[in-house]
């Protein structure tokens, strides 16, 4: 089975081809330089860039892989959650390919695709506990299989990735700033008591990072010397030409607080599952913040504590990409699941329906 994956949920235009669980080729164009001028993604600009790029990227993908449109069996496309205008570009392109050929159309839950992405590199073990941690979402799932996700906890306000981006913006770091915070944080030991781990004085599995963001903002206000005079200074943060000890201390402590919060909630979730006789056999961690080194270390500790396998995607698969969409589409299509041309895009904040058409193959 040859599956094309199309990802346009935010500011990456990404396409990939997967055959029988193996990635053949992928192409991607990022809009970081454009949105960096505004300190975050501008939806109107994002959708225009997707429209401008998607056709040429598709042609490039076919040329690299040596296949034709007629060879594609399944067209998988992110249908949400995401920016509505961006999603519609990918969805329209996917429907055009399906209408012009014989491929089946499969709409993909972008969040689920992230959590299935490690399957491109290793066999996934179910049932699994899943932590999705990205710019827009921080979710905990129980995962029974590629078509069976149960949401156990979610972010109530700012997601972890959003907190990283906003803290970086307060420090006048270039967008996206999470990578700078992570790298600086490796240069110092964290002060565990500098910031309170947020929203833990409860017994639920939800997250809230808005209070932590505010606490970091107040700390920066009291220490304005930590703010970069210009974003151009970011290139000097790691060449020993300036004293970054105070900044590294802040970043290490912030990194520690976020990763510890995630660790505690995930351990709580696994404990709840075990108490119900539903112990997971693995822990899957995915999303952009899954590339953070302290988060990866914390989740490795969780898996070892419970004696289960940790599935972490490579750094390439942590970001939005077409490969994860193609792989998820292949898994669902193998179960006879697909959509008609009336498939809708679902923006962030709305529930994605289970409206698959199902066939027995």
Cβ partners under 8 Å of residue 297, min gap 6 = 259
Domain identity same for 60 and 112: yes
DSSP 207: B
Give the pLDDT mean for 225-236.
Answer: 92
* pLDDT, tens digit, 9 for 90 and up, residues 242-271: 999 999 999 999 999 999 999 999 999 999
When divided into structural domains, the chain yields a total of 2
Domain identity same for 106 and 203: no
What average pLDDT is seen over the chain?
94
- DSSP string across 25-85: EEEEEE-HHHHHTTTS--HHHHHHHHHHHHHHHHHHHHHHHT--GGG--EEEEEEESS-HH
204 is in an annotated binding site: no
Domain identity same for 288 and 216: yes
Give the pLDDT mean for 110-116.
Answer: 97
* pLDDT, tens digit, 9 for 90 and up, residues 269-300: 999 999 999 999 999 999 999 999 999 999 99
The Cα 245–Cα 248 span in angstroms is 5
Give the pLDDT mean for 134-140.
Answer: 92
- In this prediction, residue 360 has a pLDDT band, given cuts at 50, 70 and 90, of low
136 is in an annotated binding site: yes
Domain-ending residue, one of 312, 332, 349 = 312
Domain identity same for 148 and 255: yes
85 is in an annotated binding site: no
In 3D space, the residue among 142, 109, 136 whose CA is nearest the CA of residue 284 turns out to be 142
Domain identity same for 135 and 79: no
Domain identity same for 77 and 145: no
Domain identity same for 73 and 139: no
Residue 136: what pLDDT? 86
135 is in an annotated binding site: yes
Residue 101: what pLDDT? 86
Query: Domain holding 14: CATH number?
Result: 3.30.420.40
Residue 37: what pLDDT? 63
Domain identity same for 45 and 106: yes
225 is in an annotated binding site: no
- In this prediction, residue 28 has a pLDDT band, given cuts at 50, 70 and 90, of very high
- In this prediction, residue 315 has a pLDDT band, given cuts at 50, 70 and 90, of very high
182 is in an annotated binding site: yes
Torsion of CA 32, 37, 39, 45, to 10 degrees: -70
Give the pLDDT mean for 112-137.
Answer: 96
Neighbours of 99 (CB within 10 A): 10
Domain identity same for 289 and 193: yes
pLDDT at 34 over 80: no
Residue 309: what pLDDT? 98
Give the pLDDT mean for 216-231.
Answer: 96
133 is in an annotated binding site: yes
Torsion of CA 302, 189, 185, 203, to 10 degrees: 40
* pLDDT, tens digit, 9 for 90 and up, residues 61-96: 999 999 999 999 999 999 999 999 999 999 999 999
Give the pLDDT mean for 121-138.
Answer: 95
Domain identity same for 184 and 107: no
123 is in an annotated binding site: no
Percent of the chain beyond pLDDT 70?
98
Percent of the chain beyond pLDDT 90?
88
262 is in an annotated binding site: no
**Backbone φ, ψ for residue 171 (5° rounding):** -90, 5
Residue 106: what pLDDT? 98
Give the pLDDT mean for 168-178.
Answer: 92
Domain identity same for 103 and 244: no
Boundaries of domain holding 236:
124-312
pLDDT at 361 over 80: no
Which position has the higher pLDDT, 349 or 81?
Answer: 81
Domain-ending residue, one of 289, 312, 335 = 312
**What does pTM read for this prediction?**
0.93
| Spatial contact of 240 and 191, defined as CB atoms under 8 Å apart | no
Give the residue carrying structure tokens 């709305």. Answer: 350
178 is in an annotated binding site: yes
Pairing verdict, β 337-338 and 357-358: antiparallel
Domain identity same for 128 and 262: yes
């Amino acid at each position: 089975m040859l599956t094309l994956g199309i990802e346009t949920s935010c500011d990456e235009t990404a396409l990939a081809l997967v055959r029988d669980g193996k990635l053949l080729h992928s192409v991607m164009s990022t809009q970081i330089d454009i949105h960096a001028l505004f300190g975050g993604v501008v939806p109107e600009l994002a959708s225009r860039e997707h429209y401008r790029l998607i056709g040429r990227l598709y042609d490039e993908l076919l040329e690299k892989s040596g296949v034709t449109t007629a060879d594609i069996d399944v067209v998988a496309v992110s249908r949400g959650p995401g920016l509505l205008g961006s999603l519609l570009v990918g969805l329209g392109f996917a429907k055009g390919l399906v209408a012009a050929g014989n491929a089946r159309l499969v709409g993909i839950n972008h969040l689920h695709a992230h959590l299935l992405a490690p399957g491109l590199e290793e066999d996934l073990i179910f049932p699994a506990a899943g932590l999705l941690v990205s710019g827009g979402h921080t979710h905990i799932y129980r995962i029974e299989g590629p078509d069976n996700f149960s949401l156990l906890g979610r972010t109530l306000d700012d997601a972890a990735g959003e907190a990283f981006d906003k803290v970086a913006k307060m420090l006048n770091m270039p967008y996206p700033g999470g990578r700078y915070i992570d790298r600086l944080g490796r240069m110092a030991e964290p002060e565990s008591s500098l910031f309170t781990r947020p929203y833990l004085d409860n017994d639920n599995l939800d997250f809230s990072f808005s209070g932590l963001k505010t606490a970091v903002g107040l700390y920066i206000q009291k220490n304005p010397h930590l703010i970069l005079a210009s974003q151009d200074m970011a290139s000097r943060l790691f060449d020993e030409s300036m004293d970054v000890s105070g900044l590294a201390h802040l970043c290490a402590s912030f990194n520690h607080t976020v990763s510890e919060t995630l660790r505690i909630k995930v351990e709580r979730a696994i404990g709840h599952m075990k108490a119900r006789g539903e112990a997971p056999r693995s822990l899957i961690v995915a999303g952009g913040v899954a590339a953070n080194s302290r988060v990866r270390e914390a989740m490795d500790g969780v898996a070892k504590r419970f004696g289960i396998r940790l599935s972490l995607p490579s750094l390439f698969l942590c970001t939005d990409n077409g490969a994860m969409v193609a792989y998820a589409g292949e898994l669902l299509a193998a179960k006879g699941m697909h959509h008609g041309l009336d498939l809708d895009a679902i923006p962030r904040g709305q529930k994605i329906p289970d409206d698959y058409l199902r066939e027995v193959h």
